[in-house]
Structure formats: structure tokens, C-alpha cells
């Protein structure tokens, strides 16, 4: 059975999405990390557009435009503005070194594909193989959140994890109701503003964005 050209494009974009997730995992510079997040949003937007074209689900066109505006333009702009005000450029403090992190990431990708295999077999969609890639992207983003000590990369990891979930919803299952997507987009935007306030409070209190300082508050209250 020949695979349609649009499906081949979706698989190609899924592979790029996974590669960007690995690039984010290995990135030390916060500016580059935010730029990679914007590229991930662009890939997600194009993928959603292709799915909308191939399945004739018109509400996915609105989702593609919304993703482009929010995750390629608005959120990266907000994050760049935050790090300029906080004077943050580098994130060199990780809990484990980058080579070890990458090896753990490869293991997580293998685990994700094996975990998604039974679910993929139940799907009748030709894009059922994308579930493993989406799950792998989510796990890699979660790993980035766990291994970074600074608050800004952890927030970028959280947003990237949401990208993986959104990719699974649009590409593997052909989308969610538009009202749900709008609600999620609003939650992500509001969450980013809240995180921004948290950054400033953390910097004002500890003169650092290292979240390990939060343990001091626990020790003081005990």
C-alpha cells in the first residue's frame, strides 16, 4: 500500500519535531533554547496545516494559525523580553551532564515507541505511528524540565511538552474541538504570564533563577 504524499510530509515533520526536541535537550544557551522552541512551534503549525488539508477538517486551519501566532511569535517574544529584563543569557547548570542526558533521552525514545506500539495497533489511521513520536517528544521535554536547575529552561520544557501533546492530538487523532484548543491556548498564555511574575519574584528574593533556592523557604518555615 502506497503512503499518500501528505502523510509522508507529516512523518517528515514529525521526525524534525523529534530532532528539535533532542536539540533543545542538549542546548545550554537560553536564547538558543527559546529559538528552538519557536522552530518547534513552526513545525507544529505546518504539520497541523497539512493534516487540515489532507483530512478536510477546516477547524484545524484555525488551529494552525493559532499555533503560529502563539508559539512562533507571541510566546518566544514574551520569553525573550523576560530574559532581557532578567539579564539571563546562559544556562550551564544541569543536574547531569549533557552526554548522559542525551543517552537517557535515547532510552526514553525507545521506551516511548514500545509503550505506544499497542495503542498504535488499535488505531485505524495511517498516521498511527506518530503516537510514538509524540510521546517521545513529551518525555524528552519532561527530561529537560527535570535536568535543568534554572526556572526559564524548565518553563520552556513545559511549553515544549504541551507541543508534543498537541502534535499527538492533531496528527495522530486528527484534532480536538476548536473550543478545547482555544481553551488550552489561553491557559498556556496565562501560565506564561504567571511564570514571568514568578521569575521576577525569584530573582528579587534570591538574586538568582536557580530553583534550588526555594528549599531555603521550606527550611525557614520548618
Give pLDDT tens digits for 148-168.
877 778 788 888 888 888 888
Q: What is the pLDDT of residues 67-109, one digit of tens each?
A: 888 889 888 888 888 777 767 666 556 778 888 889 999 999 9
Q: What is the mean pLDDT of the chain?
A: 76
Residue 108: what pLDDT? Answer: 93
pLDDT of residue 17: 92
Integer angstrom CA distances of residue 104 from 98, 110, 157, 166: 10, 10, 16, 23
Q: Cα(128)–Cα(213) distance, rounded to whole angstroms?
A: 43
Closest residue by Cα to residue 43 from 20, 70, 24: 20
What is the arithmetic mean of pLDDT over 7-25?
90
Judge whether 144 and 153 are in contact, CB under 8 Å: yes
pLDDT at position 2 is 66
Cell numbers 503516537 correspond to what residue?
131
Is the pTM value of this prediction over 0.85?
A: no
- Pairwise CA distance, residues 101 & 82, whole Å: 27
For the segment 100-144, what is each residue's pLDDT rounded down to a tens digit? 889 999 999 999 988 887 776 665 555 567 888 888 998 998 898
What ranges do the domains of the chain cover? 5-221
Amino acid at each position: 500500500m502506497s503512503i499518500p504524499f501528505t502523510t509522508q510530509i507529516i512523518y517528515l515533520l514529525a521526525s524534525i519535531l523529534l530532532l528539535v526536541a533532542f536539540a533543545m535537550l542538549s542546548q545550554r544557551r537560553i536564547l538558543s533554547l527559546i529559538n528552538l522552541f519557536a522552530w518547534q512551534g513552526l513545525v507544529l503549525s505546518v504539520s497541523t496545516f497539512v493534516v487540515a488539508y489532507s483530512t478536510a477538517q477546516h477547524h484545524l486551519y484555525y488551529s494552525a494559525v493559532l499555533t503560529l501566532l502563539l508559539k512562533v511569535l507571541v510566546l518566544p517574544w514574551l520569553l525573550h523580553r523576560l530574559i532581557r529584563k532578567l539579564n539571563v543569557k546562559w544556562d550551564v547548570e544541569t543536574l547531569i551532564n549533557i552526554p548522559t542526558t542525551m543517552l537517557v533521552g535515547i532510552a526514553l525514545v525507545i521506551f516511548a515507541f514500545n509503550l505506544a506500539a499497542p495503542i498504535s495497533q488499535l488505531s485505524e489511521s495511517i498516521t498511527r505511528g506518530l503516537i510514538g513520536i509524540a510521546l517521545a517528544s513529551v518525555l524528552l521535554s519532561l527530561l529537560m524540565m527535570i535536568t535543568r536547575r534554572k526556572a526559564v529552561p524548565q518553563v520552556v520544557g513545559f511549553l515544549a511538552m504541551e507541543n508534543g501533546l498537541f502534535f499527538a492530538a492533531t496528527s495522530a487523532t486528527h484534532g480536538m474541538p476548536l473550543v478545547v484548543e482555544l481553551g488550552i491556548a489561553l491557559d498556556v498564555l496565562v501560565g506564561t504570564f504567571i511564570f514571568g511574575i514568578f521569575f521576577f519574584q525569584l530573582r528579587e528574593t534570591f538574586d538568582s533563577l536557580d530553583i534550588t533556592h526555594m528549599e531555603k523557604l521550606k527550611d525557614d518555615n520548618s
